[in-house]
Structure 1
Amino acid sequence: MNQPADYPTLTGRTAVVTGAASGMGAATARLLAANGARVALLARRTDRLAELAAKITADGGQALAVTADVTDQTSVDAAAAQIREAYGSVDLVVNSAGVMLPNPLDDGRLDEWSRMIDTNLTGVLRVIHAFTPDLTAAAAEGRSADLVNISSIASHVVFPTFAVYAATKAAVTQLSAALRSELGPRDVRVTNIEPGLTDTELSGHIDNPSLTEMVGGMFAAIPALTAEDVADLIGYTVSRRRDVNLRQLVVLPTRQA
């Protein structure tokens, strides 16, 4: 694993990262903490959060493990209260929690549709609602304030059987654009990041053997991004001068068209 990049302007910031138990969320939390931010780790898997928090602390960083489910408003609100009690106001939010459950639309997998919509879209909205007052307050005090949403190139590139997943990510992309018109005038930066093929746990969610084989073939053919690549992009983005908003970033493996 590469050493985290050096972004000294992140020192002293207070961050919330959802989906922090694995993948892009965990990598982002590690990078932010390595650069001096206090990081609240949000996810459902308590054991994974505790392990990550212990690792960050052992490396000299500050991390708070907060078990939370973004599909439950009460859980998100309780997490926000716990974070404020421990760390005070938040000035950086990274929405990384998500699920990818592809299947042909003809299969009528309402269970998967509901889970993706509630996690990938409504879950993002719940977190935004919980922490927007913190972000606007930080900006009003003259500090950098960032909302980073992780979308996907699936939001605008067609992949058969990924229709509902793509729809949730397209919604996140459009939500981010609209939020810039609301939060930008209040000096809160909103960034939407659309990664291409990335080596995370997402592909492990697939329960269709033929699709598992198809995705495996993509990984065999294309050297994928790592979670650390995306985390580094986030670190770069939120460390810019506060009057600079990198609004939308698409990051792909070199061999992915």
Structure 2
Amino acid sequence: MSYENLAGRTAVVTGAASGIGQAVAVQLAANGARVALLARRGERLDAVAGKIRAEGGQALAVVADVTDDASVEAAVVRIHDTYGTVDLVVNAAGVMLPNPVDDGRIDEWRRMLDTNVTGVLRVIRAFAGDLVAAAGEGRTADLVNISSIGAHIPFPTYAVYGATKAAVTYLSQSLRTEFGPRDVRVTNVEPGLTETELATHIDSAELAGQLDGMLEQLGWLAPEEVADVVAYAASRARHVNLRQIMVLPTRQA
């Protein structure tokens, strides 16, 4: 799908080495945006950036860890040096580690909280000034956070993951009161079952089997289908904010 209003924009996409983040980066670049791809895996990032450039797009691969302050700050410097200020930020980095709460896996809880919540906040802190400045100049400015249907619907063993995504959904809602009056749009996208690498993070054969069963029964979205929703929202006229989008496979209630 082609969205002309994305041409000439400068975007940052986290989690861009795979899944929804990768698909968003490819989609934005295909529509004429300059895209800075952020993730931890340099080889994967280089491959995605190479694909974008081979198809005529503009891409900058930036190895960065959203759980590390210094890493994010260094990424900002590199992006500003190469592309200047940013007017579109997509927080797609995330980790999903389902296990029963009474297993007491504090290390997993910290990892999900630091990536899914604090990581989002680090990126927002890094580029909020850019977004506000862009909007102040009359340009379109967007913050897009990728949350999850898990923010609303509880699944056994996914309590902490769902709680992190509920935090992102609430954060997005609250940030509209701060950024909206300054013409910065905030969009929260909540995908349902989507075919990504998140499933490979599951270390329990039983839980992995349960997820496979859900996917077989309900079907799933391709990352590109979620990316299309992001691109559509970000390409609307600047006074139109698609604030909350839930996108599910048709069979998922």
Q: TM-score, normalised by structure 1?
A: 0.98
Runs of 4+ in 1 over 2 A off after TM superposition: none
Rounded to whole Å, the distance in 2 between the matches of 1:108 and 1:9 is 47
User: Of the candidates 92, 96, 99, which is equivalent to residue 92 of structure 2?
Assistant: 96
Q: Provide structure 1 residue ranges, at least 5 long, that are not aligned to the other structure.
A: none
Rounded to whole Å, the distance in 2 between the matches of 1:67 and 1:215 is 30
Rounded to whole Å, the distance in 2 between the matches of 1:231 and 1:152 is 14
Corresponding residue number in structure 2 for 1:105:
101
Pair 1:6-2:2 in alignment: yes
Rounded to whole Å, the distance in 1 between the matches of 2:35 and 2:250 is 31
Pair 1:128-2:128 in alignment: no
Rounded to whole Å, the distance in 2 between the matches of 1:216 and 1:230 is 20
Provide Cα deviations, 1:208-253, integer angstroms capped at 9, x if missing partner. Answer: 1110010011111122001001000001000000000000000000
User: Of the candidates 9, 20, 31, which is equivalent to residue 16 of structure 2?
Assistant: 20
Counterpart mapping for 1:182-221 below 5 A: 182-221=178-217
Corresponding residue number in structure 1 for 2:43:
47
SS in 1 for 2:94: coil
User: Of the candidates 114, 126, 150, which is equivalent to residue 154 of structure 1?
Assistant: 150
User: Of the candidates 161, 168, 182, which is equivalent to residue 165 of structure 1?
Assistant: 161
Corresponding residue number in structure 1 for 2:73:
77
RMSD: 0.4
SS in 2 for 1:199: coil
Structure 1 letter corresponding to 2:134: A
Q: Provide structure 2 residue ranges, at least 5 long, that are not aligned to the other structure.
A: none
User: Of the candidates 53, 57, 63, which is equivalent to residue 61 of structure 1?
Assistant: 57
Rounded to whole Å, the distance in 2 between the matches of 1:105 and 1:70 is 25
Provide Cα deviations, 1:50-75, integer angstroms capped at 9, x if missing partner. Answer: 00111100000000000000000110
Pair 1:241-2:237 in alignment: yes
Provide Cα deviations, 1:163-207, integer angstroms capped at 9, x if missing partner. Answer: 000000000000000000000000000000000000000011001
Fraction of identical pairs, as percent: 68
Corresponding residue number in structure 1 for 2:174:
178
Aligned residues: 253
Q: TM-score, normalised by structure 2?
A: 1.00
Rounded to whole Å, the distance in 1 between the matches of 2:174 and 2:250 is 30
Superposition deviation, residue 91 in structure 1: 0.1
Rounded to whole Å, the distance in 2 between the matches of 1:250 and 1:55 is 29
